[in-house]
Amino acid sequence: MVAKSPPPLEVFFGFRPQPTPTATAFGGTVVLALPESEPVSPEEAARIAAVAWLVAQQKPSPPVDGVSEPLLALAESLAWLGSFSLANTPTALLPLGQWLEPRAVAPSLESFVRSVLEGDEPYRTKRARMRELLRPGGASPELAQAAAYLLELFGDPEQARRTPVELLRDWVEAKDKPYPPAPRALKRALAAPRAAGVLRKEKEDRSALALDQALRAAWAGPAEAPLPPEADSEAQEVWQARRRALGLSAPLPQLPQGDGYLLARPEKDGFGVYWHQGKQERLLLLWPRWVIAPQLASQGEELVFVDPTGIFRVGLAGGVETVRAGDFRGARVAGDHLVALAWPSLELLLHPAERWLGPAAGGFAWLEEGLLLASNGEELRVVSPDGNARVLFSLPCTATLAAAGGQVWAVQGSPCEPTLVRLDLGAAGAQRFLRLPETPADLIVTPQGRLVFLISRGVFSIEGESVHRETAAFAIGAG
């Protein structure tokens, strides 16, 4: 293997009442959940964290001129499957070449290559099979081990994932490496890569191939380059979302009128910001870092949000502006005013006046453009943009505030019981509305007055006395 410095990686771990260890990752961070009752060895924990990190890095490789989609997808499947398998192999069994013979891995590789590049199955069937390989337990142990063996001989798993066709070429050329014999089907494919695996002539199969090529270009091709004319709405959304992150022009999306809101969640090698309405989601932005507190501004023509480096404003028709660099954990816009929650002080900063407006560990929300509601966790107060403040009443354990359309809500959290509370600011009163399973990370009121909150189990909405789980997200925001 090529010796390379590993990327910086932070691993956080905790214990939960669960039978097996699990992990999730984003960027250079892994969160590892270990079972409370069953001990887990450091090596096993490291393998689980490594696989989770790889899953978080997974994304399509760029299109390669003159290489067919089936051949590129085949190479990609082997590169990622081999990476997962190597990461999950006990160190006592590495390197594989010390005990694994080339002839032992040849049959499973031959069978897989032929299944993709030969035969009369529809392309859609082959594509589904390749996608299934990368799911946990989706590949046979023999094929997973064989892919790991290929990757070990290639010597650079990261390059194989980035340029997977090079893995196939290295295998065929061998170059004094003990590769298993390359299948004849693969040699023929690399001799004429443009048509490799494109066997059927049916219009439906050709259409599926063209759509996959366009989707790959949308995800991994140059954002400055136009998409192929056959690109469907999914590819167009991805391409436009990438262009917006670079400040490039994109069509202004026509968001449907109704009771929607924004959400952000991890996507391929970044974060996606979506407009969510009913059962439909529309991708608006693909950002390279995590995103919290997304909000539509400027009559729906801009996104404002917080990322690890500061507060940003992204035009949905083009243009990116850094509003304020720094470390923040929230931001809300009202007209010309933007108020942000600084970290770690949890003090409110008014922009562009650069005026500090006091503590807001218990949340903050605009009541109207010139009036802000904030909590230090124990007391509610109203604050004007010029800094004048007045305490309204006490509300212990306040964790989150939300206001829109005349409604004002608060969430009480630890050490109190997690509870959704309706506020009457005029009467200085608070009425318990709903006991919650845990303290929400965020709470919003949609334009039509529906309550939406985010907890570890997902995004939930409240309609009347009913609570519905809608989707999963890392952050939510008002439209």
Q: Where are the domains of the chain?
A: 1-53, 58-231
Confidence (pTM): 0.91
Using a pLDDT cut of 90, give the percent of the chain over it.
Answer: 83
Among 384, 379, 417, smallest CA distance to 401 is for 379
pLDDT higher at 228 or 399: 399
Using one digit for the tens of pLDDT, what is the confidence trace for 277-320? 988 999 999 999 999 999 999 999 999 999 999 999 999 999 99
Nearest to 474 by CA among 240, 225, 187, 273: 273
Neighbours of 81 (CB within 10 A): 24
pLDDT tens digit sequence for 379-393:
999 999 999 999 999
Pairing between β-strand 302-307 and β-strand 292-297 as defined by DSSP bridges: antiparallel
* Separation of alpha carbons 473 and 276, rounded Å: 11
Name 54's Cβ contacts closer than 8 Å, sequence gap at least 6.
80, 83, 84, 87
If you average pLDDT over residues 108-117, what whole number do you get?
96
Dist CA 412 CA 418 (whole Å): 5
Confidence at residue 200, expressed as pLDDT on a 0 to 100 scale = 67
pLDDT of residue 2: 46
Q: Report residue 267 as tokens.
A: 């996507």
Among the listed ranges 25-34, 71-80, 321-330, 333-342, which one has the minimum average pLDDT value?
A: 25-34
- How much is the pLDDT for 99? 96
Q: Which of 143, 20, 124 is nearest to 69 (CA)?
A: 124
User: What SS3 class is residue 387?
Assistant: coil
Cα(339)–Cα(326) distance, integer angstroms: 13
- If DSSP codes are grouped into helix, strand and coil, which group holds residue 478? strand
Q: What confidence tens digit (pLDDT) does each residue in 179-203 have?
A: 999 999 999 999 999 999 987 667 8
- Work out the pLDDT band at 252, boundaries 50, 70, 90: very high
pLDDT at 6: 59
CA atoms of 226 and 138, how far apart (whole Å): 35
Q: Which long-range contacts (CB under 8 A, 24 or more apart) does 173-181 make?
A: 177/153, 178/97, 178/102, 178/153, 179/102, 179/150, 179/153, 180/102, 180/103, 180/105, 180/106, 180/109, 180/146, 180/149, 181/102, 181/106
% residues pLDDT > 70 (the chain) = 98
What is the arrangement of strands in the sheet containing 364-368, beginning at the earlier edge strand? 364-368, 371-375, 379-383, 389-394
Distance set, CA 235 to CA 51, 134, 155, 217, 242 (Å): 28, 22, 33, 8, 11
User: pLDDT tens, 85-112?
Assistant: 999 999 999 999 999 999 999 999 999 9
Q: What is the dihedral of CA 163, 130, 212, 286, to 10 degrees?
A: -70
For 77, the 3-state DSSP assignment is: helix
Query: Which of 132, 28, 3, 1 has the alpha carbon at shortest distance from 12?
Result: 28
Q: Could you give phi then psi for residue 90, rounded to 5 degrees?
A: -55, 145
Task: Name the β-bridge partners of 321.
Answer: 313
Cα(169)–Cα(234) distance, rounded to whole angstroms? 32
Rounded to a whole number, what is the largest CA-CA distance in the chain?
83
